[in-house]
């Protein structure tokens, strides 16, 4: 039992619970936004379960592939894989099993939903991590595309088709990802340099990166606002979304005009808070 | 500078929830323009709470935050004037805009002493309006007694502003540590009083 708990403690960080949780929330938001009878527990369980498995699986597979990079970074060198606390083949096996289980469950529920879920994991693991991450700073775009798949999948499960709202949702996440990732890569600039990973700030400089962050934050806020408006959310929710958007745009502009380490990391943290808050607003606004 | 404790974070989160509730549904009964002003006020309270959670008390010393925080009394007092004293609304709006612009200009182009005087005057005008207007409305039978909660809220937040100004000028009447310990509760109670005065 003690051994099992010890192993579980080592395995848990592999799924990056906060990131997985946020992506799962976006998937649920996409589904609830379709005005489905979301209290249908079988569908809701299937959506949550399949997305949780696929997102966790892709995160584990990424960790396996990136273990050499992680071992070079101060921030990640103590993770279970680069520090040798876990067996690589064992983790790879687990990642594959979880991913396949998630995709199979999703396909069983609805073929189109399953295909979008599969596209998400394929783009994340194969295109982003394996193919592009070490070659170009623009790999982040594909990271954004894969990040937008859970919300699109949730919407597809609810509506049975890929509609304009689902695409706008995915675009919102795609545009939000640079704010999330670029602020992070700026904070850990030296780590990324040491590992030889090209980032927008290492290739184009901090000033241009901050400009991209500001533009993408504005785009993400605009997309979420458009989706909320199209979904017919009440003015109260739209007002609150505007307030939250003012926060992310304001901080992004501050990072351009008054750049500092504190503002940069504050923006990183606020971006997650913004996405979480916006998703909750869309859920509450739709249910109401 | 004291750190933000878990309890402080919870208090700021509660403050943000109160303010968020007001923005979403607590001010629906008012006219469109009044809703706009109250949204600015409660939106600023919400964002202030979130930013304090993220950046800590250090942020209170930032020049931009001082300007930003002015939107709380400005939004509330403009909302009250717009709703209950429409005859003087445009005069008050003009005074508010001039006041806010004066504070912004003074932050960038004037001496520290002038800046503090300027912000004290402008905050003073907003604060006095927020404090006395509810009493005036109750005495004249235009509003229910519950609106007095706004006066209490404005009194609490004005005291906090005053204490912070003293801290900034180096003539503090309260230790910095103690001020920051009290600040989350001050913000929460002021917000709760504003909610009670306007939303219920």
* C-alpha to C-alpha distance for A287 and A17, rounded to whole angstroms: 26
| B39 at interface of A, judged by CB pairs closer than 8 A | yes
Q: Do residue A137 and residue A179 come from a single domain?
A: no
Distance CA B170, CA B183 (A): 18
pLDDT in tens, chain B (200 residues): 557 899 999 999 999 999 999 999 989 999 999 999 999 999 999 999 999 999 999 888 887 888 888 999 999 999 999 999 999 999 999 999 999 999 888 887 777 778 888 888 998 899 999 999 999 999 999 899 999 999 999 999 988 887 877 777 777 777 888 888 899 999 999 999 999 999 75
Q: Which residue of A has its CA nearest to B55?
A: A266
CB-closest option in B25, B39, B51 to A243: B39
Q: Are A38 and A32 in contact (CB under 8 A)?
A: yes
pLDDT at A38: 63
- Domain extent at residue A68: 1-159
CB A198 within 8 A of CB A137: yes
Contacts with A266 from chain B: Cβ below 8 Å? 51, 54-55
B65 touches chain A (CB under 8 A): no
| CATH number of the domain where residue A208 is located | 1.20.120
For the stretch A269-279, pLDDT in tens is 999 999 999 99
pLDDT, tens digit (0-9, with 9 covering 90-100), for A63-92: 999 999 999 999 999 999 999 999 999 999
- The residue among A159, A192, A221 that closes a domain is A159
Number of domains, chain B: 1
Q: State the Rg of chain B over Cα.
A: 16
Is the same domain home to A177 and A282? yes
CB pairs under 8 A between A and B: 41
Residue B188 lies in a domain: yes
Best of A239, A247, A269 to substitute, by most chain B Cβ atoms within 10 angstroms, is: A239
DSSP state of B25: I
What is the per-residue pLDDT for B200? 56
ipTM: 0.93
Number of domains in chain A: 2
Examine the domain organization and report whether A170 and A154 are in the same domain.
Answer: no
The pLDDT of residue A116:
98
For residue A29, the Cα-to-chain-centroid distance in whole angstroms is 14
Residue B93 domain-assigned?
yes
| Inter-chain touch A247–B47, beta carbons under 8 Å | yes
CATH of the domain at A124: 1.10.357.140
Q: Is residue B1 part of a domain?
A: no
Q: Is residue A160 left, alpha or beta, with left meaning phi > 0 and alpha meaning psi from -120 to 50?
A: left
- Return the ∠ at Cα B138 (arms to B134 and B144), rounded to 5°: 95
Check A262 against B55: CB less than 8 A apart: yes
Instruction: Compare all CA atoms of chain A with the CA of B54 and give the residue at the minimum distance.
Output: A266
How far apart are alpha carbons B102 and B97 in whole angstroms? 8
- Structural domain span for residue B49: 6-198
Q: For residues A61 and A94, what is the distance between their CA atoms, to the nearest angstrom?
A: 9
Measured between CA atoms, the residue of chain A closest to residue B58 is A262
Q: Tell me: the pLDDT tens digits for A201-253?
A: 999 999 999 999 999 999 999 999 999 999 999 999 999 999 999 999 999 99
**CA proximity to A212, closest of A263, A252, A258:** A252
Q: Tell me: the pLDDT tens digits for A137-159?
A: 999 999 999 999 999 999 999 99
Contact A270 B25 (CB under 8 A): no
| Domain end position, chosen among A159, A179, A208 | A159
Sorted by sequence, the CB contacts under 8 Å of residue B192 that are 6+ apart come out as B18, B153
The pair of structure tokens assigned to A145 is 């595309």
Contact criterion met (CB < 8 Å) for B55 and A254: no
Residue A130: what pLDDT? 97
Write down the pTM of the prediction. Answer: 0.94
Task: Please tell me whether residues A59 and A133 are part of one structural domain.
Answer: yes
Q: Does B66 map to a domain?
A: yes
Q: What is the pLDDT of residue A37?
A: 65
pLDDT tens track for A37-55: 667 889 999 999 999 999 9
Find chain A residues with C-beta within 8 A of B25's C-beta.
236
Specify the residue for token string 């592009």.
A132
B24 touching A, CB under 8 A?
yes
Distance of CA A106 to CAs A6, A36, A118, A254, Å?
31, 17, 9, 42
Residue B151 in any domain: the answer is: yes
- Whether residue A46 sits in one domain with residue A118: yes
What would the DSSP string read from start to end of B32-85? HHHHHHHHHHHHHHHHHHHHHHHH-GGGGG-HHHHHHHTHHHHHHHHHHHHHH-
Alpha-carbon gap, residue B65 to B70, rounded angstroms: 9
Predicted pLDDT of residue A177? 95
Contact assignment for A239 to B24 by CB distance below 8 Å:
yes
Domain closes at, from A159, A187, A221: A159
**Does A280 lie at the interface with B, CB-CB under 8 angstroms?**
no
């Amino acid at each position: 039992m003690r051994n099992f708990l010890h192993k579980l403690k080592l395995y848990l960080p592999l799924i990056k619970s906060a990131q997985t949780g946020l992506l799962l929330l976006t998937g649920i938001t996409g589904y609830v936004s379709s005005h489905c009878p979301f209290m249908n527990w079988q569908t809701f369980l299937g959506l949550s379960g399949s997305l949780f498995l696929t997102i966790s699986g892709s995160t584990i597979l990424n960790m396996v592939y990136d273990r050499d990079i992680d071992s070079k970074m101060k921030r990640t060198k103590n993770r279970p894989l680069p520090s040798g606390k876990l067996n690589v083949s064992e983790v790879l096996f687990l990642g594959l099993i979880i991913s396949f289980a998630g995709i199979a469950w999703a396909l069983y529920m609805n073929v189109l939903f399953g295909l979008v879920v599969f596209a998400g994991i394929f783009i994340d693991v194969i295109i982003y991590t394996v193919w592009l991450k070490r070659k170009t700073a623009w790999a982040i775009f594909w990271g954004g595309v894969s990040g937008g798949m859970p919300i699109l999948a949730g919407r597809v499960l609810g509506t049975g088709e890929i509609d304009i709202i689902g695409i706008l949702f995915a675009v919102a996440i795609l545009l939000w990802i640079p704010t999330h990732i670029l602020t992070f890569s700026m904070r850990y600039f030296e780590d990324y340099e040491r590992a030889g990973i090209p980032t927008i700030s290492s290739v184009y400089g901090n000033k241009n990166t901050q400009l991209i962050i500001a533009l993408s934050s504005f785009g993400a806020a605009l997309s979420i606002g458009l989706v909320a408006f199209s979904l017919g959310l009440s003015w109260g929710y739209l007002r609150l979304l505007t307030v939250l958007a003012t926060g992310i745009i304001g901080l992004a502009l501050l990072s351009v005009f008054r750049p500092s380490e504190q503002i940069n990391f504050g923006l990183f943290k606020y971006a997650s808070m913004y996405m979480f808050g916006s998703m909750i607003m869309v859920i509450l606004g739709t249910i109401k | 500078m004291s750190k933000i404790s878990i309890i402080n974070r919870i208090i700021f989160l509660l403050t943000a929830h109160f303010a968020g509730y007001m923005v979403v549904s607590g001010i629906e009964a008012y006219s469109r323009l009044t809703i706009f002003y109250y949204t600015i006020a409660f939106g600023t309270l919400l964002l202030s709470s979130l930013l304090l959670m993220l950046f800590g008390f250090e942020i209170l010393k930032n020049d931009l935050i001082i300007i930003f925080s002015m939107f709380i009394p400005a939004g509330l007092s403009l909302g009250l004037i717009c709703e209950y004293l429409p005859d003087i609304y445009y005069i008050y709006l003009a005074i508010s805009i001039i006041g806010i612009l004066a504070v912004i200009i003074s932050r960038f182009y004037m001496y520290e002493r002038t800046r503090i005087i300027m912000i004290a005057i402008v905050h003073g005008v907003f604060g006095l309006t927020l404090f006395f207007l509810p009493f005036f409305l109750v005495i004249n039978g235009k509003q229910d007694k519950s609106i007095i909660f706004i006066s209490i809220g404005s009194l609490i937040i004005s005291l906090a502003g005053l204490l912070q100004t003293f801290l900034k000028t180096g003539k503090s009447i309260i230790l910095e540590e103690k001020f920051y310990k009290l600040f989350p509760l001050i913000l929460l109670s002021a917000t709760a009083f504003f909610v009670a005065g306007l939303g219920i």
